[in-house]
Amino acid sequence: MSDQNVINMKEKGNGFQWRNYTKIGIFFIILIAVLVLIFSNLFIVKEGEYKVIRQFGEVVRIDKDPGLGYKIPFIQSVTTLPKFQMTYDVSEAEINTKDKKRMIIDNYAVWRIEDPKKMIANARTVIGAESRMEEFIYSVVRAELGQLDYDEIINDEKSSRGSLNDRVTEKVNELLARDNYGIVVTDVRMKRTDLPAENEQSVYTRMISERESKAQEYLSKGDADKNRIVAETDREVKELLAKAKAEAETIRGEGEGEAAKIYNQAFSKDQSFYSMFRTLESYKRTIDGDTVVVLPSDSPYARLLMGYTD
């Protein structure tokens, strides 16, 4: 028998095994590829975000609720939009007030995406939405401040910024809703007002003059109040002194009356003593160091002066 008719079973078995290994390897490669394809097209929707699914550039679905989502491979794409509130710093702008004065305003806005589909359809991106929002804010602020005088804007006592911010927020939202931008402005605030450089010095000078005038007004009012208080105090003092004097005179009169009564009671008990006392009292009133008295030597007055009691 020739060698050509001999079959090597060992070589045949090895070939069969390699074919099986190859098939298994291909199967695992395909399985891994499928798994990679599946997992690469899964996405997670987190709290505070929207997932926008596009197909050939068009929005086909928006996932809003947290959880796991899936897109069709190679056909669909996923982009993320924020659901939380965002702050946008509006660019500085120059406006004219009602009294024809120029000023620079600086605002900021707090906003959020309410309808992602409308926002994408009309603004395309978050940057586009902020750009349109800024245009509306500038337009409304310029119109509102154009109805106010400069003093009403910068003077704290006359300022209507509180109600102004509310009006601007409301009107900006009306414009955004009218054009279906799908975003809502929560608040618009004026954080700073400045003057153009060429106007600063003149305004500062006028403000200083106003403050000095106000200070003088306070000083004048203080002086007037001081003079009024002093006058009232002087009047009250005079009234108190007059009342005290009147009461003192009354008490003195009562005391003198009481003293006279006591004197009368005492003197009525001894007439000669009373006569002598009255005489001595008259001496006290009429005789001093410069008095010259000429009396007869036998007069009672002279005898008393000389010490005779008989």
Structural Rg of the chain based on CA atoms: 57
pTM for this prediction: 0.54
Quick one: 51 exposed, middle or buried, by C-beta within 10 A (0-12, 13-18, 19+)?
buried
Domain ranges of the chain: 8-82, 86-194, 278-310
Residue 170 has pLDDT above 90, yes or no: yes
Arithmetic mean of pLDDT, 173-200: 85
Residues sharing a CB contact under 8 Å with residue 43, sequence separation 6 or more, in sequence order: 51, 68, 69, 70, 71, 78
Residue 77 has pLDDT above 80, yes or no: yes
If one compares 297 and 92, the residue with the highest pLDDT of the two is: 92
- pLDDT > 70 fraction of the chain, expressed in percent and rounded: 79
pLDDT value at residue 76: 81
pLDDT value at residue 85: 92
Are the C-beta atoms of 140 and 166 separated by less than 8 Å?
no
Residue 226 has pLDDT above 70, yes or no: yes
| pLDDT band of 61, cuts 50, 70, 90 | confident
Averaged confidence pLDDT in the chain: 80
Q: For 234-260, how does the pLDDT look when each residue is reduced to its tens digit (9 = 90+)?
A: 999 999 999 999 889 889 888 888 887
Angle between helices 197-267 and 271-286 (to 10 degrees): 140
Find out if CATH 1.10.540.10 is the number for domain 86-194: no
pLDDT value at residue 16: 54
Q: Give the lowest-confidence range in 13-22, 81-90, 107-116, 242-251.
A: 13-22
**C-alpha distance from residue 17 to each of 3, 27, 28, 87 (Å):** 25, 15, 17, 67
Q: How many CA atoms lie within 13 A of 86 on its CB side?
A: 18
